[in-house]
Chains A and B, each alone.
Chain A
Amino acid sequence: MFLKQIDLTTALRPSYLPDEVLLFVQDNVGLYEGKYKLPNLQNGQVYLTSHRICYVDKQEPRKHSVALDLKDVERYEFYAGFLKSSAKVTLVPKPPKRGSLQSRAAAVSSSPSNSGTTSPLPSSDGPFRSPSTGASQATAATWVCTICSFPNPVPSNFDPTTANAHTPLPPCLACGIKPALTHVLKAAISNVTSRQMTATGSSFGTPLPLRPGLDSSRNAATELGDLVQTNSASTTPKPTTPDTGAGFQCPRCTFLNHPSLLSCEICGAPLISHDVPPLPVAHEQPRTDSPGPTLNFGKVTGLDNPDSVKISFRNGGEKIFYERLKGSMTQRKWLLQEAPPVPNSSSGTDDGTGSLSRSGSGPGRTRKTAGIAGLEQMGLERRKNNEFAIANSFEDLEALMASAKEIVALAESFARQGNGGADSATSEANALLAESASQLGLITTKDIVGGGSGSGSENLYLSELARNLAEFLTDDSRGVLKKAGGIISLVDLWAMFNRARGGVELVSPNDFEKAAQQWEKLKLPVRLRTFKSGVMVVQGSDRTDETTIKALLVWLRDLHDVPPEREVAWDWQEFGRGVTAQDAAEKFGWSIGVAEEELEMAEERGVLCREEGIEGLKFWENFIDTGERRRRRRRTPTQTDQIIKALNDSGLI
């Protein structure tokens, strides 16, 4: 399936995969399938991440939110818009269960807009994917030499899980240039993934330049036969002949290029633009006619293989989206996701697993258990190991990408060590913050948010920030709100949030406040509350004044049964005890300021009353105004009076 239903976070944003990075957000977009508008997907925000493109509907986000994996995208195109037609980015999916080679070889056609064809669904050729393809791929992975484009076999003893910069690599068989480790690593991984893909029958394919050319071409002839059949009903002209079994004919000079090449070897003409999928989908459903016909699909998830999905940018932002999309398609972060962790892991505890420390310091290992010296030795080894990892990673950017995971882990451990000097109370908080910072990988920054101009993009930024904040607050693992007793002052939150961001992309207080004010509008599970003194606090939207008052009253009632620590002059069984803001703060885990405000709020509601004394301001259950004004002239309350009063009291709750 190209478009998939996705899970949303509490803040109604897509929940991201572990390594996913948010790149761009744009609001007011609609989705098209082919020429036709998709119902219910016409006004929402599009999130471009390193792995996916997510659409979150504005009206019913939980129901109509879809995503498509970038790894399923074969091709993307940009349409700048014309008159009333908004700018669009077209995403063409990979034909399912088929190597990219075949589609390329088969159809060299002009544009994806030829959607109204009646070609059979590509899923029908499912059984065609023979196990032999997978088997042959499994045995021989190839890497394509960057210098001479010769496809070399990956050495059989090359294991991506253990390979590091020191693993010996054979040079290119044709030109003799040694390949980069990452290059071979990627080739090996893509081979593994495509093997897994075959095994599970899932539909994702490998990215373009890494496709195992030799093996695919071996099968190309037979697959092509199928493709010809597939496209026979299509109205698209097929200019290329299907006899290009082992190569791909350059449209300009007709040179038969190797299928792995992106541009013609002879004339340099780009070959990638001819990647046209076999125009698969037929829509039997009735459609409305002109300018923006809507597709009458009951369920979006039922869209198995649309020929193309268009994202219509009605509010601008398409250019940045396209640029970022291009970037992420080139980076192919999703490969990293499946990449094995770089060996020599620097995880502090399992020391000695790295081959370096083992080989480098033989004597160290023998006496590693010997007391302080052993510990020191261990530390030394670990540092060496780290040093090596860092030096290694920064060798070049490619290598850094390959060892990204390790570097992140290192950075985190450094951050933890950095907190060691502080005293215990703050170190705990710092640890929390450091952790938060790493968890807060997906932060909204001004530059990932697009928008037409001026206020539009500002609004989008704020609403994204608001969602971001709501996520930060409601994240159970962090428990920001819970630790603060369910309520936290905006200033505290601002400080915490900015600290969690680790000092980059800080949010200005102004933006922060504006974002917080959007919570209600966005129907997020947190709300901003302003006390009458002007203090702004953040609390869960389920926490209302009533619940707070109830909690306060229950507490005060309990005090009727608890004897005070010292002798008191009043009848504590009747009146309970006055509480200070300090008491309330301790009891509910609030900050003092919040406790003061909450108590005053309850006082304002007439539930509490105040007592000012030398001990400070105390709050009592309101025994002054007990709703007995009707009987105020009676000086001595009778028995029944007291009962009525008691009933009244309880009725007040």
Chain B
Amino acid sequence: MEPPTPPFDFPREYYFPAFFTRQVNLTSLRAQHEKWSSLILSYCAHHRLFKLSLSSPATEDLFHNRKLNKRLSTADAREVLDFMRKDGLVEDVGGGSSGGKSGEAGGDVVWVYWKTPEEWARALEEWVDETAQKGTVLTLYELTEGEGTRGTEFHGMDPEMMQKALQVLVNRGKAQIFGQEDQQGVKFF
């Protein structure tokens, strides 16, 4: 939303040293996973990150509290992602839209659904409704980068993510996608 991203307001737990250690107590562990998962979601939403890579510098801040000199280990972070995957909050990149039910240890790059494709689809639908563009054909580029979508939530959205959102609409029969790889267009009904 805001092009010069203000610093993310980390929750209280982020400054709690024990937050970075995997808890042994199952109740605590679950609470910890939940807190981490909400932290990751809000962090990604704040920075408008659609893909999360455990090794990318963009997430360095998220898992590493420089002030405390504490870091959530990669293994523990993966576990958090596994936890989120079960809740449908993340999905492996390249794992297909079938979801990460394959059981394999999650890849290091995941889609973060701080809004699920369905939610995105609804947002798109509403926007199409509001701007009275039913029946018109829009290119994907127009949807994500075009002037018309400036100010909407999905402006600047990852194209692949947009694809996923559109796929939801297609399945519902609300849209149709056609065209070549690079030149895809979409028509809303």
Binding site for B on A (CB under 8 A): 569-571, 574-575, 578, 603-606, 609-613, 618, 620, 622-626, 629, 632-633, 635-637
B21 and A604: CB pair below 8 A?
A: no
| Assembled-state Cα–Cα distance A620/B70 (Å) | 15
Specify which chain A residues have a CB less than 8 angstroms from the CB of B11 in the assembled complex.
635-637
In contact, B35 and A604 (Cβ under 8 angstroms): no
B-to-A contact residues, CB < 8 Å: 9, 11-13, 15-21, 23-25, 27-28, 30-32, 34-35, 38, 42, 67-70
Interface residue SS majority, chain B? helix
Known: A570-B68, A603-B25, A636-B9. A620 touches B17 (CB 8 A): yes
Cβ distance A570 to chain B, nearest Cβ, rounded Å: 6
* B35 contact set on A, CB distance < 8 A: 624, 632
- Would you call B16 and A620 a contact (CB within 8 A)? yes
Q: Is the CB of A623 within 8 A of B18?
A: yes
Query: Whose C-beta in chain A lies nearest to the C-beta of B33?
Result: A624
Q: In the bound complex, how far is the Cα of B13 from the Cα of A128, in angstroms?
A: 90
| A635 contacts B18, C-beta separation under 8 Å | no
In Å, the complex CA distance between A606 and B27 comes to 7
In the complex, are the beta carbons of B15 and A571 less than 8 A apart? yes
Contact of A613 among B23, B24, B70 (CB under 8 A): B70
Across the interface, do B31 and A629 meet the contact criterion of CB distance under 8 Å?
yes
Q: How far is the CA of A603 from the CA of B21 in the complex (A)?
A: 13
Cα distance A617–B2 in the bound complex, in angstroms:
42
List 18 extra interface pairs beyond A575-B16, A625-B31, A629-B31, CB under 8 A.
Answer: A569-B17, A569-B67, A569-B69, A570-B17, A570-B67, A571-B15, A603-B24, A606-B27, A609-B18, A609-B23, A611-B21, A612-B21, A623-B13, A624-B16, A626-B31, A632-B35, A635-B11, A635-B38
- Cβ–Cβ contact B31 & A624, under 8 A: yes
A624 contacts B19, C-beta separation under 8 Å: yes
A623 touches B12 (CB 8 A): yes
Contact partners of A610 in chain B: CB under 8 A:
18, 21, 23-24
The residue among A569, A578, A605, A637 with the most chain B CB atoms within 10 A of its own CB is A569
The answer on a CB contact under 8 Å between A611 and B67 is no
Taking the closest CB of chain B, its distance from the CB of A571, in whole angstroms, is 6
Contacting residues, chain B, for A571 (C-beta < 8 A)? 15
* Subset of 18 A-B contacts with CB under 8 Å: A569-B69, A570-B15, A570-B16, A571-B15, A603-B24, A609-B18, A609-B21, A609-B25, A609-B28, A610-B21, A611-B17, A613-B70, A618-B17, A623-B19, A624-B35, A625-B30, A632-B35, A636-B11
Q: What's the Cα separation between A300 and B21 when bound, in Å? A: 66
A612 / chain B contacts, CB cutoff of 8 Å = 21
Once A620-B18, A624-B32, A632-B35 are accepted as A-B contacts, the answer to whether A606 and B9 lie under 8 Å apart by CB is no
Most buried by B among A618, A629, A635: A635
A604 CB contacts on chain B under 8 angstroms: 25
Q: Inside 8 A of B18's CB, which chain A residues have their CB? A: 578, 609-611, 618, 620, 623-624
8 Å CB contact of A635 from B21, B42, B70: B42
Q: A613 — which chain B residues lie within 8 A by C-beta?
A: 17, 21, 70
Distance in Å: Cβ of A642 to nearest Cβ of chain B: 9
Taking a contact as CB atoms under 8 Å apart, the answer to whether A629 and B9 are in contact is: no
Q: Which of A625, A633, A637 contacts B27 (CB 8 A)?
A: A625
A626 to chain B minimum Cβ distance, whole angstroms, is: 8
**Interface contact A637-B17, CB-CB below 8 Å:** no
Q: Which residues of A contact B30 (CB under 8 A)?
A: 625
**Contact partner, A606, options B13, B17, B21, B25, Cβ 8 Å:** B25
Please, which residue of chain A has its CB at the minimum distance from the CB of B37? A632
Give Cα A604 to B20, complex, Å.
18
C-alpha gap A570/B12 in the complex (Å): 11
How far is B23's CA from A606's CA once the two chains are assembled, in angstroms? Answer: 10
Instruction: Tell me how far the C-beta of A149 lies from the nearest C-beta in chain B, rounded to whole angstroms.
Output: 83
- Select from chain B the residue with minimum beta-carbon distance to A633: B38
From B13, B15, B38, give the contact of A624 (CB < 8 A): B13
Cα distance A628–B175 when bound, in Å? 41
Query: What is the distance, in angstroms, from A610's C-beta to the closest C-beta of chain B?
Result: 6
Which residue of chain A lies nearest to B34 when distances are taken between CB atoms in the complex?
A632
Q: Taking the nearest CB of chain A, how far is it from the CB of B82, in angstroms? A: 18
Report the nearest B residue to A575, measured CB to CB.
Answer: B16
| CA of A623 to CA of B18, assembled, Å | 8
CA distance in complex: A49, B150 (Å):
99
B28 pairs with A569, CB closer than 8 A = no
State in angstroms the CA–CA spacing of A40 and B20 once bound together: 64
User: B45's closest neighbor in chain A, by CB?
Assistant: A635
Query: What residues on B are CB-neighbors of A618 within 8 Å?
Result: 17-18
Select one of A575, A605, A624, A632 contacting B23, CB under 8 A. A624
Separation in Å of the B187 CB from the closest CB of chain A? 35
A-B pairs with the 3 shortest C-beta distances? A625-B31, A611-B18, A620-B18
How close is B24's CB to chain A, nearest CB, in angstroms? 6
Counting chain A CB atoms within 10 Å of each CB, the highest count among B24, B28, B38 belongs to B28
Kindly list chain B residues whose C-beta atoms are within 8 Å of the C-beta of A574. Answer: 12, 15
The chain A residue sitting closest to B41, CB to CB, is A635
CA distance A223 to B17 in the complex (A): 92
Find chain B residues with CB under 8 A from A570 CB. 15-17, 67-68
